[in-house]
């Protein structure tokens, strides 16, 4: 099926494409900058999913509706957010030893990277929310909704990491 996009739909996809390119770039850069190996791994996983999003947007822009088989990234994200209690306790022990280095620039730098990516994910997710309502084709809406859900999972994983490391304490 060849997808016929309106000018507005094409413009919205171009915006999402540039957002995804920035996300791929930031996650890859931040994975290299992060001092905590767990955070590096989280950023690398998210970078891979963002690359999949970019590929999907490019397919839509070329007039193709991608098949919506749930990739590994969705499963990986689910596993990350519903971590077993034992693993969470281990993570909290690591966090307290990591917080011992709280004065170190590594901890603060990691916190800054997380804060920036959490803000980025909030923005990108909101942009998808707007785009979803502007598309006529229900299949395209479904594709964009799937991407948005993964963006929200990225934000949740970053939030959970920050909270477990004492970087984010919601009141």
Q: Can you give the pLDDT at residue 170?
A: 78
Q: Can you give the pLDDT at residue 74?
A: 43
Q: Can you give the pLDDT at residue 1?
A: 63
Identify whether 98 is part of a domain: no
Q: How far apart are the first and last CA of the chain?
A: 50
Report how far residue 147's alpha carbon sits from residue 141's, in angstroms, rounded to the nearest whole number. Answer: 10
Report how far residue 120's alpha carbon sits from residue 124's, in angstroms, rounded to the nearest whole number. Answer: 6
Q: Can you give the pLDDT at residue 83?
A: 46
Q: Can you give the pLDDT at residue 67?
A: 83
Identify whether 158 is part of a domain: yes
pTM: 0.80
Report the CATH number that the domain containing residue 49 is assigned in CATH. Answer: 1.20.1260.10
Per the listing, tokens 């980025």 go with 120
Identify whether 2 is part of a domain: yes
Q: Can you give the pLDDT at residue 89?
A: 47
Q: Can you give the pLDDT at residue 72?
A: 43
Q: Can you give the pLDDT at residue 84?
A: 45
Identify whether 77 is part of a domain: no
Identify whether 73 is part of a domain: no
Identify whether 69 is part of a domain: no
Per the listing, tokens 């955070």 go with 39
Q: Can you give the pLDDT at residue 73?
A: 44
| Cβ within 8 Å of residue 89, ≥6 positions away | none
Tally of domains in the chain:
1
What range does the domain containing 110 cover? 1-60+104-166
Q: For residue 44, give the nearest of 54, 22, 29 by alpha carbon.
A: 29
Q: Can you give the pLDDT at residue 47?
A: 98
Ranges of the chain with pLDDT below 50: 70-90, 92-101, 103
Identify whether 85 is part of a domain: no
Identify whether 90 is part of a domain: no
| Cβ within 8 Å of residue 63, ≥6 positions away | 2, 3, 4, 5
Burial letters for 104-135: b for 16+ Cβ neighbours within 10 Å, e otherwise? eeebeebbebbeebbebbeebbebbeebbeeb
């Amino acid at each position: 099926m060849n997808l016929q996009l309106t000018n507005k739909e094409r413009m919205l996809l171009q915006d999402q494409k540039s957002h995804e390119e920035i996300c791929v770039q930031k996650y890859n850069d931040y994975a290299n900058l992060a001092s905590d190996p767990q955070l590096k791994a989280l950023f690398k996983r998210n970078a891979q999913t963002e690359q999949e999003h970019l590929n999907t947007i490019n397919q839509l822009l070329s007039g193709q509706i991608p098949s919506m088989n749930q990739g590994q990234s969705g499963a990986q994200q689910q596993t990350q957010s519903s971590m077993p209690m034992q693993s969470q306790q281990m993570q909290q022990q690591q966090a307290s030893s990591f917080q011992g280095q709280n004065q170190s620039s590594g901890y603060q730098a990691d916190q800054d990277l997380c804060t920036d990516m959490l803000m980025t994910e909030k923005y990108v997710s909101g942009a998808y929310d707007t785009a979803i309502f502007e598309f006529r084709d229900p299949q395209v809406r479904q594709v964009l909704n799937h991407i948005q859900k993964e963006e929200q999972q990225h934000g949740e994983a970053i939030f959970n990491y920050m909270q477990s490391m004492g970087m984010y304490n919601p009141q």
